[in-house]
Amino acid sequence: MAETWRLLDYSSADPKMDLAINEAIFRSRRENLTPNTLRLWQGPASVIIGSGSSYKDDINHEECMKHGVEVIRAISVTADHFYMDMGSLNFAVTANAALSNTRTKDYPPVLSNYSILNSAILEGLRKLSDTLEANANGIQIGERRMTGILPKWFHDFLLFQGTLLVNTDVNAYNKMIKTGKPKGKKLMITSLSRQLRRDVSIDEVKTALIEGFESKLGIVFELKKELTGDEQKSANLLFRAKYSLEKWNVHGIEPFFVGMGRVSLEVFVAYPPTSMCRKLISLVNDVTQDLQDAITVRVWMRGKGIYQHGVYPELSSALVDAEKCSRIPAIIINGELKFDKTLPSRECLRSAVVAALSHN
């Protein structure tokens, strides 16, 4: 029996919210609250940069400002970046990475999931043109690319978000993007309509992609038009606390949340706990006792490994730094080191926790 995936055909009015929605779905899938999902969406002209992209060096900001084009950062494991507009069809696949283990043995293991998903896109586009090619990097014809992709991993889960240049303004793309991949080399870009020498409707491409995914992956889609309540709540939080802020879009500094966006309080202590560490754990339990529905408290003991709290551990970079620098004991709230090598007063700790909650 074919596996059922969710097909979400849903766009917001703001590309920043659209990226927040992609991450919210990713978080929901990681929590097993939703099935594997293909989301299709469109948005106004924007430049999307990856987590590792240089806001300063990779983008022509003069051209972006001239045309009122925002530069927005997406979560990714790559430093790629791309331009999109209303002539682009954007996609986000959120799936368990067991995808490559169950579908085919024809792909190399490292990039197998990327290759399979790009092959599914190609399967659909072949209905429109038989001159296109797919590899782990995307869809292309000859040396000209017509997709931009920003993948993100969380243990066994993959968010594969990107854009397909259907009727995209290629001239605008080339003006606003300075560099591509490999670093420093200008990518050669084309669009589907340019290659077919005709206007191609977005609906035509949507239908082709859906059929391509179903055929290549052996799945069936169940169409949905709205997010779940949990996804919408998480997307609103991520938009407010991350995607709408210069701190993330310009500087790449993101807040740390667990699950669908709960406040995170990480307590880093010695193993076995010292007297001060035991007092700190007791203090944290006392301060957060009435906040269990809004906050996730995790006590991490040095030397006991990353799987102290399940098979899909979520660790902030501040916790990793605290371990490297032996900051014991330490309290980290939403990824920010608040107290280390000391026992805070109850009032100070409570104040820090309440302040974090007020931003959620």
Neighbours of 171 (CB within 10 A): 9
In tens, the pLDDT along 16-29 reads 999 999 999 999 99
Predicted confidence at residue 231, as pLDDT, reads: 97
How far, in Å, are 28, 35, 340, 358 from residue 235 at the CA level? 10, 17, 32, 17
H or E segment at 193? helix 192-196
235-255 pLDDT per residue, tens: 999 999 999 999 999 999 998
Residue-level pLDDT at 183 = 53
Q: According to the model, what pLDDT value does residue 98 have?
A: 72
Q: Determine the pLDDT at residue 105.
A: 55
Q: Using CA atoms, how far apart are residues 104 and 167, in angstroms rounded to an integer?
A: 32
Q: Are 121 and 127 within 8 A, CB to CB?
A: no
> Which of the four pLDDT bands, split at 50, 70 and 90, describes residue 99?
low
pTM of the model: 0.92
- Do 268 and 219 lie in one domain? The reply is no
* Same domain membership, residue 277 and residue 155: no
* Secondary element (H or E) of residue 175: helix 170-176
| Domain co-membership, 241 together with 298 | no
pLDDT on residue 182: 47
Residue with tokens 């551990």: 313
Mean pLDDT, residues 181-199 taken together: 79
Which is higher by pLDDT, 167 or 136?
167
Range 63-86 average pLDDT: 95
Closest CA to 26 of 8, 45, 12, 2: 8
pLDDT (0 to 100) of residue 270: 97
Query: What is the distance between the alpha carbons of residues 218 and 339, in angstroms, rounded to a whole number?
Result: 51
141 and 284, same structural domain? no
pLDDT in tens, 46-60: 999 999 888 988 899
Assign residue 299 the CATH number of its domain: 3.40.30.10
Q: Rounded mean pLDDT of the chain?
A: 92
9, two tokens: 């055909």
258 belongs to a structural domain: no
Domain assignment of residue 256, yes or no: no
Range of the domain at 114: 3-249
Residue 259 — left, alpha, or beta (φ > 0 → left; ψ -120 to 50 → alpha)? left
Q: Which residue, of 249, 282, 297, is where some domain finishes?
A: 249
> Cα 305 from chain centroid?
25
CA 237 to chain centroid: 14
Token pair for residue 128? 């429109």
CA 5/CA 285 separation, integer angstroms = 41
User: Could you give the CA distance from residue 73 to residue 27 in angstroms, rounded to a whole number?
Assistant: 17
